[in-house]
Amino acid sequence: VTTPIADYEGPRRAFDALLQPTCDRRILLLCGPSGTGKTRLLEHCLARKPPGVPLVPIDLRGSTTGVAEIFSRFCFALTWSLLTQFTARVAALEGGAATRIVVDRNWQLGFNNRISVVLHTGDEASRGQRSTELTDALFEDLARMTGPLLILFDTFEHAPSDVKDWLRGPFLARAAQTTTIRVVIAGQQIPDSKNIEWGHCCDLHNLRGVRDARHWLPVVRQMQRRIPTPPEETYMAAICDVLQGNPLAIMNWIEALEREESIA
Ligand SMILES: Nc1ncnc2c1ncn2[C@@H]1O[C@H](COP(=O)(O)OP(=O)(O)O)[C@@H](O)[C@H]1O
Ligand SMILES: [Mg+2]
C-alpha cells in the first residue's frame, strides 16, 4: 500500500532524478516547518526506491546521533567487505596494526564503541584530524561503489552542533565529489545551499504545504472518505483555506471524515 500524498510534484521529481544512473543535483535539500510533510515525502520516495539501491537512513532527532554513530550506521547499512579503507583506518588509529582483525566478528560488534573512542581521544586538534581521516577513508570506500548509494538525513535541525558542522562541511564537500552518492537532507533548518564547495550540485525545495484542493481530492478518494457536502472541490477548498494548506491538519481533517459506504 502506498501512502497517499498530495502534490509535492517538484521534490518527488527531484527524488526520481536522484536515483538515475547519472545525476547533476546529487544533494537534495527539503526545508519546511513542522508538519509540512518532509518525513512523509521521504517515506513516499523510499517506497519507490529500487531494491538494488543501498540505503543509509539516519534520523537526527534526539541528541544521541553523533558523528561516531553516523559512521557506524554506514558500516551496518553497507557490507563490511566494502569498507576496507574505513575499517583499516579505525584499526590503525586504535593502535592495532593487524588488518586481519576487521573480519573478526567481535571486532565488528564493538565497532561503534571503537569509532567513538578513536574520535574522542586526544586534544581538539588531534580529534579533528582523526575525524577528517575517517571521513576521507569512508569516502574512498564509497567512491568504489558502482551504482548509486542513497543517504537520507531527517530532522537536521535536531542534530548536535558538531554533527551539523560535519555534515555541512566535510561530509557534503566530499559527497559533491563522489558521483555515486545521493544525499537527501530534510529539516526545519538545513545546511546553507549557497555553499561554494557543494552548492553547485544541490537542489533546494521549500515545502510550504498544499493549498490547492485539487491535490487533496485524490487523497480523500485513496483514503476512502466521503465529502459530506458537494461540490467536493468547493468543500475541500474551504478546508484548505481554513487550515492554511497545512498537510498535517488537512490530513487529520480527512481522516475524521466518514468512510465511504461500499457500493453493493
Ligand atoms: N503531501 C502530503 N500529502 C498527504 N499528507 C501529508 C502530506 N504531507 C504531510 N502529510 C501529513 O502530515 C503529517 C505530518 O507530516 P510529516 O511528514 O511528519 O511532517 P514533517 O516531517 O515536515 O514535520 C503526515 O503524517 C501526513 O499525515
Ligand atoms: Mg519530520
* pLDDT exceeds cutoff 80 at 264: no
Between the alpha carbon of residue 18 and those of residues 11, 181, 191, the distances in Å are 10, 9, 18
Q: How many CB atoms lie within 10 A of CB 237?
A: 16
157, with CB counted inside 10 A (0-12, 13-18, 19+), is middle
β-sheet with 181-187: strand ranges across: 55-59, 149-154, 181-187, 27-31, 202-206
Percentage of residues in the chain having pLDDT higher than 70: 95
Could you give the residue ranges of the DSSP H alpha helices within the chain?
A: 9-18, 38-46, 67-77, 84-94, 105-109, 111-120, 124-143, 161-166, 172-177, 213-222, 232-242, 247-256
> Cβ neighbours of residue 170 under 8 Å, at least 6 residues apart?
131, 132, 135
* pLDDT exceeds cutoff 90 at 253: yes
**Which ligand is closest to the CA of 218, given by its number?**
1
Q: Is 34 in the pocket of ligand 1 (CB under 6 A)?
A: yes
Encoded amino acid at 103, one letter: V
Could you report the per-residue pLDDT of 196-221, keeping only the tens digit for each? 999 999 999 999 999 999 999 999 99
Instruction: Report pLDDT for 56.
Output: 93
* pLDDT exceeds cutoff 60 at 48: yes
Instruction: Report pLDDT for 64.
Output: 73
* pLDDT exceeds cutoff 60 at 52: yes
Decide which of 96 and 7 is more confident.
7
Instruction: Report pLDDT for 103.
Output: 63
CA dist., res. 217 & res. 71, Å (int): 43
Cα(229) to centroid of ligand 2, in Å?
32
* pLDDT exceeds cutoff 80 at 243: yes
**Which residue of 251, 254, 255 sits with most ligand 1 atoms within 8 Å of its CB, as the best mutation to test the pocket?**
251
Q: Is 174 in the pocket of ligand 1 (CB under 6 A)?
A: no
Kindly report the average pLDDT of the chain as a whole number: 90
* pLDDT exceeds cutoff 80 at 65: no
Instruction: Report pLDDT for 98.
Output: 52
Q: Structure pTM?
A: 0.92
Percentage of residues in the chain having pLDDT higher than 90: 67
Cα(261) to centroid of ligand 1, in Å?
26
Ligand 1: which atom is nearest the Cα of residue 34?
A: 23
Could you report the per-residue pLDDT of 139-170, keeping only the tens digit for each? 999 999 988 999 999 999 999 999 999 999 99
Phi, psi of 111, deg, nearest 5:
-65, -45
CA dist., res. 151 & res. 60, Å (int): 13
Could you report the per-residue pLDDT of 170-183, keeping only the tens digit for each? 999 999 999 999 99
Ligand 1: which atom is nearest the Cα of residue 252?
A: 27
Could you report the per-residue pLDDT of 85-137, keeping only the tens digit for each? 998 899 888 876 555 555 677 777 788 888 888 898 888 888 889 999 999 99
Judge contact between 83 and 75, C-beta under 8 A: yes
